[in-house]
Amino acid sequence: MLTGAIDNGIANGAAVAGYSIAGKTGTAEIAGPVNVRVQTGWDANGQPIYVDTTRQAYIEGWIDSSFVGIAPASSPRFVTIILIHRPVVGRGGIGERPEDAFAQLAPLVFDYYGIPPDRPLPGVANQ
């Protein structure tokens, strides 16, 4: 199921040729201090009385974007979580994607630990 997100789903940027990858994306809104004006009553002339205060609330446009990758999915050797705090967001969606960072990091880990591919490479005949 988690390989489907990479093979056929939204996290296809995490794919690494020759390896099965399982993964899950995540997005979370970020809360923080927000200045608000709160009406606290009325004065003697019937005018509203306001007090400026700070409260915790979700901040418009602020998100955390994450990806947890497990590789190789057929016989896991490592798990990685990548979190991007407040990624650049463009008109087409998130511009900085943690699954793209995973796809750059994973081949280095495969090479360093000598983890062999568990899937045939595209365009290479089985021997």
> Domains of the chain (ranges plus CATH)?
4-31+59-113 (3.30.450.330)
Read off the pLDDT of residues 79-113 as tens digits, 9 standing for 90 and up.
999 999 988 766 555 567 899 999 999 999 999 99
The residues, any chain, with a CB within 8 Å of residue 69's CB and separated by 6 or more, are 14, 21, 22, 23, 79, 80, 81, 82, 99, 102, 106
Say whether pTM exceeds 0.85: no
Percent of the chain with pLDDT over 90: 69
State the residue for tokens 């099965």. Answer: 20
The pLDDT assigned to 67 comes to 96
pLDDT at 121 over 80: no
